[in-house]
Structure 1
Amino acid sequence: MELLFVLVAVVALAIFVLKWATNLLSPPPPNEKTHPPSAPNAGTRSGTSYVKKNVEHLPPQMAVSRSQAEASIYLPSEKWDELLVTTDQGLPTLFLQMHDGRLWLTEPSTGLLVSVGNRRLRRMGIWTARVRGVGYHKVAVRNGAFQPGAPVRLLREPDNAYDKNAVAVCSADDDHPAGYINKGMAAGLSKLIESGAPLRAISLAGQSPGEYGSNIDVLAATPAVVEHLLRKWPISTAPV
């Protein structure tokens, strides 16, 4: 009986020693700090397919410095009240210059450009707009001269079925519209035309005869203002 008791004790001790040795030699279970869980499908065919479908088509991102991101060639809005003004003679302080293949209004003290959509320009006697509906008048656009500096005509269309204030834009030697001034600007510009006030209009952006482009920008003002805006052009090459 005593012998049986001794055998049981020996066997129990052996089992305990075996478990202790196994735990000692086994690596600890993973935890979130030392072994973060693997991403689903990582390294598998389905994971690779996901990357190809959702990531690989994206263009590589370019590093942009803070100065590059903040730099702009356009006059900031906080400067409009200060710099978009006229002189004592009623002339705007701006001038026109070529930039990137088109004429731009430029503020001289900063050298920054002013968008054609800036409504402050009207206070200075300058009407600028992008011509609408060019795609519906391709023949007139292709036949007309709309290169930067070319003279253009603004024709009232009081019987226009879509806008009673319609102002058509034509090349200097053609009565066929290449497009129209937007309704918001046409409401005021049409009254100015009907009043008989002298206006001179030129193209800021567009194509030469025989070419077609979808963008035509125009500027209209009194002849004195237009001449003043073109003052930076050399006399021999000034568009007329």
Structure 2
Amino acid sequence: MSLFAVIRRALFGPSSSPSSAPDTPVAAPPADTRGEPPASTSDTYLSEEEAAFYLVRDERGRLPVTVSGGWFLHDGTGKRVGPANRALTKAGVYSFNVRGDNYRDDEVTAADTRPGVVAALRREPENRHDKNAILVLGLDVDGGERMIGYVNKGLARSLARRLDGGDDLGARFMRGDPAGRRSQRVAVVVTDSGTMRNLFGR
């Protein structure tokens, strides 16, 4: 057996050769089976159809939405996503204008309700008006709790069950003002901790 044959046998086995070695298959990238995006109907807002197409979590679980200027914005198009959009609620992102804040003007004015500031949700199961009641609280400059208002009854029904069950839910102000100023209605977003960090970038 020639020296070349000995080396070839050692490298590729008794019946193999470099030219006959099988190629390693290369996996094809996953196909996007969603098809074409729906036609746009607005330059400002995502339609329900567009939101259902675009607002899909990636492989890391990230939702392509951020909060800016008191609005949800789609990362790809820059369009606003309405707070009641079904794609958001399906993804576990809820937002609402605080109810009853107009009766607590002093409390709301004293609290820091700037976008991104943490809000507290406190269940009130003994509330005589609504057993599902959820109180929204903020902090003033001294760290004292301030009563902002309540979650609306419709949303409180579903959130109360999740809060009582110990689900990973947090709240942050989505629209509001620094402590000492009151110029607009207060809005809050509620979701899990990972999504919340993505929404506000921290």
TM-score, structure 2 length as denominator?
A: 0.71
* Cα separation, 2, equivalents of 1:146 and 1:78: 32
Name 1:128's counterpart in structure 2: 95
Name 2:76's counterpart in structure 1: 109
The one-letter amino acid paired with 1:196 is: G
Name 1:201's counterpart in structure 2: 171
Gaps of at least 5 residues in structure 2 are 1-40
- Distance verdict in 2 for CA 1:225–1:217, change over 3 Å: same
- Distance verdict in 2 for CA 1:212–1:96, change over 3 Å: closer
* Cα separation, 1, equivalents of 2:82 and 2:193: 21
The one-letter amino acid paired with 1:92 is: L
Q: Tell me the number of residue pairs that the alignment of Structure 1 and Structure 2 aligns.
A: 159
After TM superposition, list the pairs within 5 Å mapping 1:80-159 onto structure 2.
80-97=51-68, 102-159=69-126
Say if 2:45 is the partner of 1:74.
yes
Identity across matched positions, percent: 28
Say if 2:181 is the partner of 1:211.
yes
Kept after mapping to 1: 8 A contact 2:51/2:81: no
| Larger helix proportion of the pair | 1
Secondary structure of 2:87 counterpart: helix
Shift of 1:198: 2.4
Which ranges of 4 or more aligned residues in structure 1 deviate by more than 6 Å? Answer: none
Shift of 1:96: 2.3
Superimposed CA distance per residue, residues 45-84 of structure 1 (whole angstroms, 9 cap, x where no aligned partner):
xxxxxxxxxxxxxxxxxxxxxxxxx754111223122112
Shift of 1:221: 1.4
Gaps of at least 5 residues in structure 1 are 1-69, 232-237
The one-letter amino acid paired with 1:133 is: G
Kept after mapping to 1: 8 A contact 2:108/2:146: no
Secondary structure of 2:51 counterpart: helix
The one-letter amino acid paired with 2:192 is: T
* Cα separation, 1, equivalents of 2:131 and 2:184: 25
The one-letter amino acid paired with 2:96 is: A
Shift of 1:135: 0.7
What RMSD in Å do the two structures reach over aligned CA positions?
A: 1.9
Say if 2:146 is the partner of 1:179.
no
TM-score, structure 1 length as denominator?
A: 0.61
The one-letter amino acid paired with 1:225 is: T
After TM superposition, list the pairs within 5 Å mapping 1:40-59 onto structure 2.
none
After TM superposition, list the pairs within 5 Å mapping 1:23-62 onto structure 2.
none
* Cα separation, 2, equivalents of 1:85 and 1:222: 16
